[in-house]
C-alpha cells in the first residue's frame, strides 16, 4: 500500500513538472517524451509513444513482431483537426481495462495542453514580430535585429548595410483608389522586394509606406547599392491591383555601418534624409488607372 502511494505521488510530481515545462522553455519534443513516460508508468512499463499529426513519433514505440495488444487514443484539440495520437503496446493476453483508458486519457490531455500552448505561443510570437498585412518583419523585429547586428559587427570589426525604402505618393493611392487597394498595393510591392533581397537579408515594414532592409555579410558599399538598385528597379513594371494598374516608384536610400554611423539612430536617419534629398520628379506616382475593360470611372491627375 505504501509503495503504491509513493508511486502515485511520484507520478503526480512528474505531472506537475510537465505542467511547469509546458509554460517554460522546455522543447515540445522533450515534454511529449516525458508525457509518454508517465503513461508507460501507469501501464506497468508498457512501451508507449506519441505520434504528432504531420510530425515526429516520440517515446518508445511498441516493437513489431512481439504480438502485443496495441491500444490507441487520439489527441483532440479544443477545435480543428486531431493533434496526434498515443499508442501503447500491452501484454497480448491482457484484457481492456479502465486503467489503460485513464492512462491514455491523462497522456492525451497533457499532450493537448502542451501542443496547443506551444502553437499559441508561436502564433503570438509571430504576430509580435511580423507585419500582418505584408507578412514580413515589423518595426519591433527590425529594431531588435538591428541592435544585435550592430553588436555582432562591432565585435567582428565587420560591415553591414541598411536600405531605406519610402513609397512615393502612397497617400495618393489611398485617396484615389481607396484603402483596400492601398493595402493590396502594399502586399504586392512587399512581395516584389522580397524577391530582390538575399536569404540572409531582413526586409521589414516599419509602418505606413516605409520599409527597410538590413543587409549583413557585405564587404563594401557597392554590395548594398546593388541590392538597393534591384529594389528600385522592381518598381519599373506597373502593379496590377484589383481593377487598377498602379504606376509607382520608391525613394531608396542606404547607410553603411560603421562608415556612415556607429549608432542605430544615425543609421536610421541617414538613409531617410538621403531619400528626401535625392527625390526627383521621376520618383512620383505616375497614375492610378483602371484596368482595361473595368467599369471604374476613376481618373488620375498625374
Comparing CA positions, the residue from 21, 22, 74 lying closest to residue 50 is: 74
Candidates 183, 218, 220, 168; CA nearest to 197 is 218
Lookup result for grid cell 492512462 = 103
CB 195 within 8 A of CB 230: no
Degrees, nearest 5: CA angle 138-139-140: 95
According to the model, what pLDDT value does residue 231 have? 94
How large is the average pLDDT for residues 35-44? 94
Per-residue pLDDT tens over the stretch 53-101: 989 999 999 988 678 999 999 999 988 789 999 999 999 888 899 999 9
State how far the Cα of 194 lies from the Cα of 204, in Å rounded to an integer: 10
Residue 85, strand partner residues? 51, 74
Inform me whether the pLDDT recorded for 22 exceeds 50: yes
**HSE (CB half, 13 Å, CA atoms) of 160?**
26
**Percent of the chain scoring above 70 in pLDDT:** 86
Q: Average pLDDT, stretch 90-119?
A: 92
Residue-level pLDDT at 283: 35
Question: Rounded to whole angstroms, how far apart are CA atoms 219 and 33?
Answer: 46
Backbone Cα Rg of the chain: 28
* Interatomic CA distance for residues 234 and 299, integer angstroms: 25
Mean pLDDT value of segment 29-51: 95
The pLDDT value recorded for residue 74 is 96
Which pLDDT belongs to residue 286? 40
pLDDT of residue 299: 38
Q: Which three cell numbers stand for residue 248?
A: 509607382
pLDDT at position 37 over 70 = yes
Residue 23 has pLDDT above 50, yes or no: yes
- Grid coordinates 501542443 are at which residue? 115
Query: Structure pTM?
Result: 0.68
Note the pLDDT of residue 282. Answer: 37
Cell of 78: 479544443
pLDDT tens per residue, range 281-300: 333 334 445 555 443 333 34
- How far, CA to CA in Å, does 105 sit from each of 57, 139, 249? 18, 44, 59
Residue 157: pLDDT over 60: yes
Quote the pLDDT of residue 1: 62
- For 214, other C-beta atoms within 10 Å of its C-beta total 21
Query: Average pLDDT in the 30-52 region?
Result: 95
Taking the CA atoms of 87, 91, 95 and 97 in sequence, report the sign of the dihedral they define.
negative
How far apart are the C-alpha atoms of 83 and 34, rounded to whole Å? Answer: 17
Name the band, by pLDDT with cuts 50, 70 and 90, for residue 279: very low
pLDDT band at 174 (very low <50, low <70, confident <90, very high): confident
**pLDDT, position 92:** 87
CA dist 147 and 217 (Å) reads: 16
Looking at 53-62, 206-215, 222-231, 263-272, which range is the least confident one? Answer: 263-272
pLDDT band of 242, cuts 50, 70, 90: confident
Amino acid at each position: 500500500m505504501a509503495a503504491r502511494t509513493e508511486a502515485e505521488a511520484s507520478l503526480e510530481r512528474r505531472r506537475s513538472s510537465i505542467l511547469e515545462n509546458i509554460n517554460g522553455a522546455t522543447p515540445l519534443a522533450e515534454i511529449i517524451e516525458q508525457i509518454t513516460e508517465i503513461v508507460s508508468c501507469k501501464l506497468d512499463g508498457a512501451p508507449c509513444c506519441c505520434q504528432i499529426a504531420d510530425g515526429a513519433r516520440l517515446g518508445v514505440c511498441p516493437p513489431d513482431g512481439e504480438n502485443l495488444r496495441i491500444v490507441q487514443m487520439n489527441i483532440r484539440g479544443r477545435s480543428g483537426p486531431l493533434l496526434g495520437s498515443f499508442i501503447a503496446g500491452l501484454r497480448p493476453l491482457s484484457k481492456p481495462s479502465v486503467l489503460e483508458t485513464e492512462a491514455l486519457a491523462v497522456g492525451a490531455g497533457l499532450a493537448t495542453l502542451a501542443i496547443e500552448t506551444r502553437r499559441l505561443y508561436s502564433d503570438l510570437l509571430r504576430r509580435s514580430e511580423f507585419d500582418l498585412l505584408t507578412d514580413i518583419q515589423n518595426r519591433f523585429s527590425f529594431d531588435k535585429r538591428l541592435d544585435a547586428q550592430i553588436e555582432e559587427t562591432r565585435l567582428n570589426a565587420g560591415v553591414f548595410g541598411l536600405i531605406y525604402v519610402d513609397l512615393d505618393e502612397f497617400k495618393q493611392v489611398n485617396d484615389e483608389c481607396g484603402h483596400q487597394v492601398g493595402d493590396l498595393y502594399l502586399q504586392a510591392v512587399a512581395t516584389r522586394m522580397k524577391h530582390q533581397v538575399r536569404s540572409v537579408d531582413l526586409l521589414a515594414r516599419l509602418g505606413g509606406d516605409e520599409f527597410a532592409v538590413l543587409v549583413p555579410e557585405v564587404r563594401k558599399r557597392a554590395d548594398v547599392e546593388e541590392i538597393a538598385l534591384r529594389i528600385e528597379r522592381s518598381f519599373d513594371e506597373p502593379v496590377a491591383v484589383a481593377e487598377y494598374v498602379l504606376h509607382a516608384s520608391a525613394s531608396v536610400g542606404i547607410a553603411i555601418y560603421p562608415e556612415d554611423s556607429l549608432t542605430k539612430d544615425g543609421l536610421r536617419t541617414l538613409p531617410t534624409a538621403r531619400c528626401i534629398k535625392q527625390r526627383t520628379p521621376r520618383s512620383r506616382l505616375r497614375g492610378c488607372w483602371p484596368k482595361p475593360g473595368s467599369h471604374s470611372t476613376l481618373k488620375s491627375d498625374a
